[in-house]
Amino acid sequence: NEITTDQITMAELALEKWEDATNGRLQFTRNTTASAADIITIGTGDLAAVGETSEEGGVVGLGGGVFAHSPDHPISNGFAWQDSAENWDTEFDNGDPAGTTDYFSIAAHEIGHALGLNHTSDSADIMDGGAYIGALTSFSAVDVEHIQTLYGEGANAPPATTTAGLAVNFGTTTIERTQTAVPAADAINATTNNAGNALLIFSNLTITNDNGNGLVADNTGTINVNTLSVAGSAISVTDGAALDITDTTVDITLDAITADGGTSAILLDNVDGSLTVTGVGPSTGGDTSAPSTISDMTGTGIVISDSTASVSLNLLTITNDAGVATGLLLDDSDSPGTSDPSLTLTNSTLTGTADNWTGISVNLTNDGTIGISDTLFTGTTGSDQVGIALVVDGGGTDTPTAALALDDNTISLGGVTPLAISLSASNGGLVNPLSGLGNLATDGTIDLTGSELFDANGTDASISGSLEVNSETVFP
């Protein structure tokens, strides 16, 4: 840290301005002995410390940290780092001398990031995301509104702690965490523990996080407390989950999801509402496809548990490495009689190499709707691999029915004893194949188990469409 005495004066002035913007709600105290995890480090030095390249006229500074929207708004590992290669002006409101960059303006901007603020698009804002065009000496009304939205003002508590809950429309939001030196963190963490309702709306959300999760939402209480709405958006993460949502109602539409590394790419636990990944984005040379890719996960690519949410995924590729047993898991076994999940998968590819790999595994104790079409299941080298496994168990007290629709799927499994489709119903559970097995091409076998597999009367329903096993048509 090469910060000078004059630069410290400007940084302290920037902190005072943020205090003023919240009418004293924020208060800053210098502490040179606290752990870096507990403070905002403000400094001047080589940008290599935060994953960028130092050069005059290039990136002038970087700021950020780990920020959680919770009642006391904890910030950890915060930083506001200015490039030592710049010719810094360290006098306040001195007319913006030619050939210099105003230290106060940049420090205030980077501190804003450390406090949890994103870029705006107006050059009058201290948080403007455009190129530096000159010094600013005050915060705009937008800057003040945004910081007070997060923290409140004066003696007022942050909005998240009010009994009425929190309602924020973030509009178009872009979050990029691409500096490799920053610690792992969530791009957005919408965890709440208040008794009110939280409504977070993003009209267009784009997340790129090279070290951590994309969107995390956890109410830690009764479902339906949070309503999270996202439309026309994309999330790309490395070493994290694109979506990790618990006890929350969602209305999310994404163009695409990309996840490389981490445990699972999508985690939905006790989630209501809907999640749609369209596979369609802005036109690029006339091509509007927006494929999603999930790869190098150490666990199941997608996990949907005990959720009533309607999940629709299009143009998705899940590649499981050796040792990973399942591509997609839908399981409501922990909430019998309460959740009726719905899953639609189209134009997708699931690939696995592990022994006992299953492309899609569904375990139901409630009614459920499963639709899979135009999807390729590819198993390589492993033994006892399964394309689609569906188990319906009524537990002896309920009669859950799985409405199953398959159409134009291909299941090609390598190794020993491949099993293309396994359908099992027990204890009053039923499977109702809405369109039979629908033009299925496979080199595996079909296993149908259960006296009441297809309908409540215990008689097998007819299987329509054509089924090809080892190049021989056996249905109809």
The whole-angstrom separation of Cα 229 and Cα 23 is 31
Task: Name which residue leads in pLDDT, 472 or 53.
Answer: 53
Task: Name which residue leads in pLDDT, 468 or 239.
Answer: 239
pLDDT tier at 461, thresholds 50, 70, 90? very low
Q: Name 299's bridge partners.
A: none
Q: What is the mean pLDDT of residues 97-113?
A: 93
Q: What is the mean pLDDT of residues 266-286?
A: 82
pLDDT of amino acid 315: 94
The whole-angstrom separation of Cα 382 and Cα 43 is 54
pLDDT at 443 over 60: no
Which tokens sit at 256?
């695409």
Task: Name which residue leads in pLDDT, 156 or 134.
Answer: 134
Q: Please tell me the CATH code under which domain 1-161 is placed.
A: 3.40.390.10
pLDDT at 181 over 50: yes
Which tokens sit at 330?
């839908």
pLDDT at 6 over 80: yes
Domain boundaries, the chain: 1-161, 172-319, 321-338+347-476
pLDDT at 180 over 90: no
pLDDT-wise least confident of 6-10, 112-116, 203-207: 203-207
The whole-angstrom separation of Cα 106 and Cα 120 is 14
pLDDT of amino acid 266: 96
Q: What is the mean pLDDT of the chain?
A: 78
pLDDT tier at 252, thresholds 50, 70, 90? confident
Q: Do residues 390 and 422 make contact, with C-beta atoms less than 8 angstroms apart?
A: yes
Whole-number Cα distances in Å, 323 to 141, 221, 331, 354, 387: 54, 34, 21, 5, 16
pLDDT of amino acid 356: 86
DSSP, residue by residue, 153-209: STTPPPGGGSTT-EEEEEEEEEEEE--TTSPP--SEE----SSS-EEEEEEEEEEEE
pTM: 0.64
pLDDT at 209 over 80: yes
Q: What is the mean pLDDT of residues 400-418?
A: 79
pLDDT at 136 over 70: yes
